[in-house]
Amino acid sequence: MRILQINNYNFIKGGADRVYFNTIKLLEDNNHVVADFSTLNPLNVDSLYTKYFIPLDDYRHKGIIGKIAGVKNYLYNSTSYRNLKKLIEDFRPDIAHIHLFYGGLTSSILKVLKEYNIPIVQSVHDYRILCPANAFLDNKSRICEKCKNKFFVQCSFDRCLESNFFFSSILTLEAYTRKYLLDPLEFIDHYIFVSRFSQAKHIEYDNRFSGKSSHLYNFTFISDTYSIRNNKSYFLFFGRLSKEKGLMTLLEAMKSLDVNLKIAGTGPLQAEVEKYALSNKNVEYLYNKSGQELEELIADASFIIVPSEWYENNPMTILEAYAIGKPVIGADIGGIPEILVNNKTGFLFKSRSVDDLKMAIRNAASLSDSEYLNYSRFARKFAEENFAPQGHYTKLMEVYANILNR
C-alpha cells in the first residue's frame, strides 16, 4: 500500500510527532511505501520528500503588518495546497493519514486530498477541533469548557492564548473557519482516537464523531529483552516543562519529601526548574535528554511521575516507561486512568493536589523489593498487551481496509 503520512513537524517536538515517526517506521517495516508531508525546519529529520515541504512562518514574532499578513496562511495555506497537490500527483497514494495540521499545513490539505478522492484518516492527538486553544485550559491553566456549544468567541474574551487578545482572536477565527467554511468532519473519513476519554469527549461535543471513529492506543517499540532495575535513588519527570504538565505541583510536593527527583526536558518553565534545582538538593535538572541516554535514565529511575493538569490523552511517557518495566505515578485526569492501574502498574493521585501527590510518592518509596518487582512486571505486561507494535499494526490495517473498501 502507498501511504501518505502528514504532520506539521518533521522532527520530534512533542508526543504526537513521536507517534507520527513511529507510524512511518511501523508501516515501512511491514513493506508499505510511505511518503511524508510536513513543514520545513532546521531540526527536520531527513526525508526523500523535503522538496514538497512548505516554509512555516511564526506570525507571533512579527510586527503588526506581518501578523496581519500571516493570518491568512495560518488559516488556509495556499502553498501547502499546491505542494501537496504536486506530491499526490508524483506519489499517487492509496490513503492519507494525518496527525497535526492546524496552524501549519492548515485545512487546505483536506481540500486537495478530497479533490483527488484520497481517503483520509486522522489520529487525534489533542482537542483542537473542540477547543480553539487546543487543551481545554484558560489563560490561568484552569480546565475550561466554555466553548462547548461552539461559542468560540469566548477564546478571545478570555485571552486563552498567552493572555493575548490578538493571538486568541486568531484561534477564534480559525475555529469559526472550521465551523462555517471547512468543516473537517465533512472531509475526514475516519478519526482514530488514542484514548477512550478523548473519543467520548469529542462525541459529547459533536455526535457525528460516533459514526466515523474508533479507539486505538498509541504504541511503542518494546524490546524482547529487558532487565528490571529497582534503583531507589531517584524519581523521574521527563517531557515538556510547562504548567499544564503539573510541574509546579510536583516541585511544591518535593519541598517536604525526603526523596530525589530528576527532571529532563525543556519548555516555558525551564527557568523556574533551574532556579528550584539550584536551591533544593533533592531535585536535579538534566536539561533535554533523548535516545539511549533518556532510555537509560528511565531504566535507572524508581518511578516515572506524570502529574498532568489538563485532559492528557495517551501520554507516550507512560508507554515508554511501561515498555521497560517502569511503573508510573500519574494524575487521575484525561486518558491517564485508562492506562494506569492503581496499585498494579503504579499509583494514581488527584490532579492538582499537592498532598495527594506526596502521598503517592511516599507509597511508591516505601515499596519492598518484592512489591516493586510486581509493579514492574505488571507495567511491562500491560505494555505488551496494549501498546505492542504488531497489535497496533493489525488494528490500523483494519481501519485502512474499512475505508478503502467503502
Asked whether 246 and 331 are in contact (CB, 8 A), the reply is yes
pLDDT for position 230: 64
* CA–CA dist 326, 319 (Å, integer): 10
Question: Residue 73 has what pLDDT?
Answer: 84
Report which of residues 224 and 69 the model is more confident about.
224
Average pLDDT over residues 66-89: 87
Listed by start position, the domains of the chain span 2-125+189-219+388-404, 235-386
| Mean per-residue pLDDT, 78-84 | 97
Query: With 60 as the cut, is the pLDDT of residue 130 above it?
Result: yes
Give the per-residue pLDDT at 279.
92
pLDDT at 59: 59
Pick the CATH number of 2-125+189-219+388-404 from 3.40.50.2000, 1.10.1760.20, 3.20.20.80, 3.90.1150.200: 3.40.50.2000
Q: How many CA atoms lie within 13 A of 28 on its CB side?
A: 11
Lowest-confidence pick of 40-44, 61-65, 229-233, 268-272: 61-65
Cell triple for residue 335?
486518558
Predicted pLDDT at 53: 98
What class is the 235-386 domain?
alpha beta
In one letter, which amino acid is 141? S
pLDDT at 67: 60
What's the CA angle centered on 212, arms 12 and 150, to 5 degrees?
80
Task: Confirm whether 2-125+189-219+388-404 and 235-386 share one CATH topology.
Answer: yes
Q: Has residue 275 got a pLDDT over 70? A: yes
Least confident range of 60-69, 87-96, 124-133, 362-371: 60-69
* Average pLDDT across the chain, whole number: 93
**Grid cell in block for residue 160:** 486563552
Cell of 260: 530525589
Map grid coordinates 511508591 to a residue. Answer: 364
pLDDT number for residue 22? 96
Residue 227 has pLDDT above 70, yes or no: no
Beta bridge partners of 47: none
243 close to 143: Cβ distance less than 8 angstroms: no
Strands 33-37 and 95-98, by their bridges, are unpaired
Please name the residue that has the C-alpha cell 527536520: 44
How far apart are the C-alpha atoms of 250 and 242, rounded to whole Å? 12
> Residue 60: what pLDDT?
59
Q: Which of 3-17, 65-79, 352-366, 383-397 has the lowest mean pLDDT?
A: 65-79
Among residues 127, 103, 71, the alpha carbon closest in space to that of 7 is found at 103
CA distance 287 to 350: 27
CB count within 10 Å of CB 326 equals 27
Measured from the Cβ of residue 107, the count of other Cβ atoms closer than 10 Å reads 21
- Residue 225 is predicted with a pLDDT of 64
In order, the DSSP letters of 100-146 are --TTTT-THHHHHHHHTT--EEEEE-S-TTT-TTSSSB-TTS-B--T
**Above 60 in pLDDT, residue 64?**
no
CA 299 to chain centroid: 22
pLDDT of the residue at 338? 97
Taking residues 278-307, report their average pLDDT: 92
